[in-house]
Chain A
Amino acid sequence: MANIAPPLPPLDVTRAPEGGEVGPVQSGWRLAAREFVRNKLAVVGLAILAFFVLFCFGGPLVYHGNLLNTNLLGVNLAPGPGHPMGTDNLGFDVLAELMKGGQASLEVGFLAAAIGIVIGALYGAVAGLLGGIADAVLMRIVDVFLSVPILFVVLIVAVRYGASVLSLSLIIGAFTWLVPARLVRGEVLTLRVRDFVSAARAAGSGRWRLINRHLIPNALSVIIVNVTFNVADAILLVATLGFLGFGLHYPTFDWGDMLSNGIGYLQAGYWWQIYPAGVSIILVVMACNLIGDALRDSLDVRLRKR
């Protein structure tokens, strides 16, 4: 038998604090947004991310550097006229490469995070809702997958099937759903005993409707926060792969690959082959983490300042 909470007493407007006025009731999202924009680091993070999205996807529309034809007579050129950020070891324009590489990094980051979060949210919700043995089995599966080093798997897939934006997104996404699954499952375990869920059940909602209309929407704050961290993790993983030489290949570029190529010329002083890609990776990952932290603070009522 479900416990029925006693009804709240009627609101006595005459007992409102003296000197104050009762404002209109604000939605949770609006409160969260207000909290978010008050966080200066979050705004900085958002601005950085917005800049890189514009830079990587809008930049190529106005800046047309050579990324198609190697130029063996123009390799390793220092920044100067014609090449604001110089050229790399193949004669490609570093600024254009930074834009193109950023596209791939961001695409993989967001796509992998999306894949991971969709799988993880559904998986966690199902496990949490079913409970019992099914929950235990599903969570042990998660434990098993968590024990597999993802870099190792991604390396094998990259070597065996070749690395592309899609393949990397799929394989990274296939491994990044594990943490969201755990988090959502935990959230669902607390939600499923709430009255509104019981009411929905009583009204005849099936499991899919419960998950789709009640559980996942109420676990959205957890999910959104986790997306930002997953984006950062995926971008770092792609950079690691590229750095190891198993990332994307011509005619696709990624920041990790740029970094890897540049490292070979570190002693030669070709800083323009290292710093732009390195700084970009750091800034984007940092921005994602700042946004994630701020979202967590603003979406979780317990962490709000007011």
Chain B
Amino acid sequence: MKFARPATKFAVLAIAGVTVLAACGKSSTSGGGSTTLGPSGAFGTVPAASGTPHGGTVTFAEPPGATPNWILPIITAANDSVFTVLSFDYEMWRPLYWFVKGVAPAETPAMSLAEEPKWSNGDKTVTITMKSNYKWSDGKPITSQDVLFWIDEMKAAVKESPANWAGYTPKTGIPDELASATTPNASTIVINLKKAYNPSWFIEDQFSSIQPMPSHAWAKASANGPILNFTNPANATKIYNYLSAQSKSVGTYATNPLWQVVDGPYKLSSFNSTTEAFGMTPNATYGGPESKKVLNLTGVPFTSDTAEYNAVKAGSIDVGYVPLANVPQIKSVESGGYNAFGYPDFGWNYMAYNFKDTTGDFNNIIGQLYIRQAIAHLQDESGIIHAFFNGAGGEAYGPVPSIPVSPFTPSNAKTAPYPFSVSAAVALLKGHGWTVTPNGTDVCKSAGTGATQCGAGIPAGTKLTFPLVYNTSPSIIGEQATDLASEAKKAGITISLSSDNFNHMIANDNDPASPKTIDKWAVEDFGGFTDSTYPTTLGVFNSTGSSNLGGYASPEADKLIQASVTSSNPAAVTAEASYLTQQQVGLFQPNPDLVQVWKKTLSGPPASFETLTQYNLNPEYWYFTK
């Protein structure tokens, strides 16, 4: 589960078996002709691969404020963004299992480093066999030792700080529930777990996070030091400290010999530590599927969506995106020589509540379900899709929304559980002891824990006011924040707006990563999370989650999340999503489509372009046709 910044997305109707959620559509005739937006914001199809492969360098737009800032394949909570992981790190170090096939919630086996895992012992033991076609760039084979190396280093990282690995959840999965990991031979690793786990969750959430690391080159504590036995915990700690220190040194990314030993399709050739622009060249020893003419890759950072869109309009970027504000002009982009395709990524957008912020008793206020329900009533999802997304998106009411299509979407997330209604919000507040003053600030009149009182820990006289910090980019986040503040004002809830940037927010407005600043924010909108295809919210809404930004803690949610993780019942994760939707643990927002564009002179398998909407970057499949 990774932090994501919502950008522009569209839904595609071409996916077999997809039922697309109806949303407010809007056609536009301004600036470039009509678009093909449908009722769901569905847009475009990906053309089949064609043409004679030619080489070259493909330029890829890095969205503003979301450039890579970490390189070691043990991703910290503070650096766990889709841009760092999926669009940068994965180019060099591939995960054990590759999930998402285009936009379908399925594995792409050819891109996985290992054969399908074999479960035994009542789902407590799993045997993984490495494929032979994948090798390190220095010619050495990828062995089971390299998988074990990642596991041991991850354990050392977590031992130093739980925030050192974004995927860590205490007492769940790896490493806490790992009984043993052995390597009977160079290609096999046997993992024994302390209890049975849901195989789907384990593969899609845990094993897909493992990125084997070259133990023969990295298992050392200094640049010129000897290769150490990493299975010794003391050595593992020394190695981790060395590797993480190197990862913090962004200025040396392209020159550090460590980072030149890769198993992915690319090697880093340049990295600008100021702008975080990067260049990559093909890894000649890459053993996975790729084009006959693998292109060089250049990541081009942009300081604003406008600047990025201008680059698209000027044709100066090969692969980019179209901001939602510019969706009505998509036709002119296509006529300018681009293909366009859009779909929402798996995951959700939301405003995160800080359940630990004691400023003004906000923790007690937001701890009340009726307050969260009232805020949900103040969000006009269909209006937002119409006004800000230009129709390109779907309504979403929980962590597993209706779009993108998932077999795990609960029934209460298919229609608004708390539909937009200021009067409903006012009624909830009045019914719980608040004096409601539209365009003023509500005050708790009746303190106490009774059914008609404000709730525990909310003294009489408490004002219903809190700050909301939002990510400045893309602009739809600020627009949604402003709209909420405006609607809340009608109900007497005063929301003070301020803005920040993505990287600063996920590093500071984040309880696990920055507990010292827990009282510095109340509600934040940085974007949302991308999720695995098995969409449990473990790590985000369980009380000990490493990405539990606002410290949400509910025994019931913990129980349901545990069931999703350990039960083999596929309905468990649906039950979890249903509860979180009902509880409104964050203000779930409509899911915008991510509109990706690429030059018509660039071709490759359709899935390699479709998957751009999932933040996956697979240029190894691409080639220029001219």
Contacts and interface: CB of A to CB of B under 8 A. Distances in A.
Are the chains A and B members of one assembly? Answer: yes
A244 B306 CA distance: 12
Interface in B15-44: 30-31
B387 A264 contact: no
Nearest to B328: A268
A90 B439 contact: no
B475 A264 contact: yes
A70 B383 CA distance: 10
Nearest to B305: A264
Interface residues of B, number: 38
B498 A90 contact: no
A166 B315 CA distance: 44
Contacts of A91: 387
Given A72-B380, A245-B473, A261-B475, A267 B313 contact: yes
A90 B306 contact: no
Nearest to A250: B482
B256 to A, nearest CB: 29
B496 interface: yes
A68 interface: yes
From B380, B384, B490, B499, name the one whose CB has the most chain A CB atoms within 10 angstroms.
B499
Contacts of A266: 306
A89 interface: yes
B329 interface: yes
Contacts of A68: 439, 486, 489
Contact of A162 (B386, B467, B490): B467
A267 B482 contact: no
B364 interface: no
Contacts of A263: 304, 306
Interface string A245-286: 110011100000000010111111100000000000000000
Interface string A70-93: 101101000000000000011100
A69 interface: yes
B386 A73 contact: yes
B482 A70 contact: yes
Interface in A148-178: 158-159, 162-163
Contacts of B313: 267
A243 to B, nearest CB: 10
B500 A72 contact: no
A266 B326 CA distance: 9
Given A73-B383, A267-B31, A269-B31, A245 B499 contact: yes
Among all A-B residue pairs, the 6 with the closest Cβ atoms: A72-B383, A245-B472, A249-B497, A72-B387, A70-B486, A264-B325
21 contacts: A69-B487, A69-B490, A70-B483, A70-B487, A73-B383, A89-B325, A89-B387, A90-B482, A90-B483, A158-B498, A246-B499, A250-B482, A250-B485, A251-B489, A261-B475, A264-B326, A266-B306, A267-B313, A268-B31, A268-B329, A269-B31
Interface of B: 30-31, 304-306, 309, 313, 323, 325-326, 328-329, 380, 383-384, 386-388, 439, 467, 472-473, 475, 478-479, 482-483, 485-487, 489-490, 496-500, 504
